[in-house]
Chain A
Amino acid sequence: MNGNRWRRVGFGVGGLIALAVLFLAVVMLSNVGLRGVRLDLTQNKLYTLSKGTQQVLGT
């Protein structure tokens, strides 16, 4: 009975650590991998390059 309880707690603590690592991995990977996908809601598109700028830059 007592051993069973400790096994459960050990399992839970292990799970929490695994979750924390997973969370860190997701945040770090999304920081690197998801760059540039954004929705600019400002009225004058303040944070988006205009067509003219992109032409000048030659992209």
Chain B
Amino acid sequence: MNKVLVVFRRELRSYFATPLAYVFIVIFLVLAAVFTFQVGGFLERNQADLQSFFRWHPWLYLVLIPAISMRLWAEERNSGSIELLMTFPITLWQAVVGKFLAAWCFAGIALALTFPVWITVNYLGSPDNGAIVAAYVGSFLMAGGFLSIGMCLSAATRNQVVAFITAALVGFVFLLAGFPLVLDFVRGVLPQSIVDAIASLSFFTHFDAISKGVIDLRDLCYFAALIGFWLAATALVLDMKKAE
């Protein structure tokens, strides 16, 4: 556990050693604000909630999270520092978890810095703050899901561009599986139970459920299983690539 913390601290500090982290946070905040106020029509809706803010989070993450996750392992492999990392007295699993937690924490910082929109909505009206807290929790969990996917695919390649594109692609599939557009199409061919099963694999379904203000154990279970699966897959892929 202690060694996970060491990797975590080193990684998190490395984000802020370059301007990359600040650029990322600024882009995230600007995009979130543009989508909330311009596209989502936050002020025109005349309702004291943050629906027009959280609605866009899956799409923001789809594009921005792969930008964090692409360098996690691809860069180490490309520069050769992965061999140094492997000789440290830490297990592969500890390195994977430490790196993931650092990236997740970084995404959490970016998310937390959207607090002005929460202040704004409280200043303009009296929103349901419980539901907003739940939506923030859901958004954070979804960021973790996207990150774990991106991390695994970053481990599979040494090219960061490939890592970015594949992560966005797989994330898109996980997102799209919950959309009515896709589900309606599938419904004509497959029985309802399988349609429900497909929907329950999607980020969108679970994020949507949490952002209504209800934290269901099933949703937590889904995200925990998803992150666990992709982290284990990362360790497996790294182990496989060690042979090369």
Contact = CB atoms under 8 A, between A and B. Distances in A.
A51 interface: no
A20 B200 CA distance: 15
Contacts of A35: 218
B243 interface: yes
Given A41-B134, A43-B128, A34 B233 contact: no
Contacts of B240: 8-9, 12-13
B225 A19 contact: no
Given A22-B229, A23-B225, A26-B225, A42 B236 contact: no
B128 to A, nearest CB: 5
Contacts of A16: 233, 236-237
Nearest to B221: A30
B133 interface: yes
A23 B239 contact: no
A23 B131 contact: no
Contacts of A34: 217-218, 221
Interface stretch (B7-15, B80-88, B184-192, B207-215): B207-215
Contacts of A23: 225-226, 228-229
A43 to B, nearest CB: 5
Contacts of A5: 243-244
B44 interface: no
B56 to A, nearest CB: 21
A37 B213 CA distance: 14
Given A8-B240, A23-B229, A47 B218 contact: no
30 contacts: A8-B239, A9-B240, A12-B239, A16-B233, A16-B236, A19-B233, A19-B236, A23-B225, A23-B226, A24-B201, A27-B200, A27-B201, A27-B222, A30-B217, A30-B225, A31-B196, A31-B197, A31-B218, A34-B217, A37-B218, A38-B214, A41-B130, A41-B131, A41-B134, A41-B214, A42-B134, A43-B128, A43-B129, A43-B131, A47-B213
